[in-house]
Each structure stands twice: as structure tokens, then as C-alpha cells.
Amino acid sequence: MDDNILNTKFPLVLGGFLGFGLVFVSSFSADNSFAIALQKSSIGCVIGTILGKFFSHVLLSCMKSLNENRQKQKNDSQVGQEKK
């Protein structure tokens, strides 16, 4: 399976599921009717999806930057050892 597909689909699905679930439970426990709780949950699903995509993008870019910095430090240390 392509890793890029996994990196884009999983945060969207997870964020949407968590957004829907949290808003539904909180709205239904606040004595709202089922229809109102479902309506608010659909909005929570969209917002959760957007937040999940944003946070996954931030996490992946930080991990990429960290990996590049480690590779640069490794290459710099190897060059320093060769000069000695």
C-alpha cells in the first residue's frame, strides 16, 4: 500500500470520527434532541476533519525537518572525521 495514501486518509477519517463522536456525545448529553445532536455532530465531523489534516501536516513536516537535520549532522560529522 502506498504510504502517501495512508498519510492523507487516516488523519481525515480519524479527525472526522473523533469530531463527530465528541460533539454527538456532548450534545446528546446536554439534553438536545437526536436531530439537533446529529446536525451539530455533522458540523463537528467537518471541523474535526480539517483539524486532523492540519495537525497531520504539521507533524509530518516537523518529522521531515528533524530527519533532514539528523542527516545533515551525520554527514557533517563524517566529513569532520575524514579531515583528521
Query: How confident is the model at residue 7, as a pLDDT?
Result: 62
> Can you tell me the distance from the alpha carbon of 20 to that of 41, in angstroms, rounded to the nearest whole number?
5
**Residue 1: what pLDDT?**
45
Q: Where are the domains of the chain?
A: 3-83
pTM of the model: 0.73
- Angle at which helices 3-29 and 34-83 cross, to 10°: 140
Measured distance CA(41)–CA(45) in Å, rounded: 6
Supply 3's cell numbers.
504510504
Percent of the chain with pLDDT over 90: 51
d(CA 73, CA 75) in angstroms, rounded, equals: 5
User: pLDDT tens for residues 2-39?
Assistant: 566 556 788 889 999 999 999 999 998 999 999 999 99
Q: pLDDT, tens digit, for every residue of 33-81? A: 999 999 999 999 999 999 998 998 888 889 889 989 999 888 888 776 6
The letter for the amino acid at 51 is: L
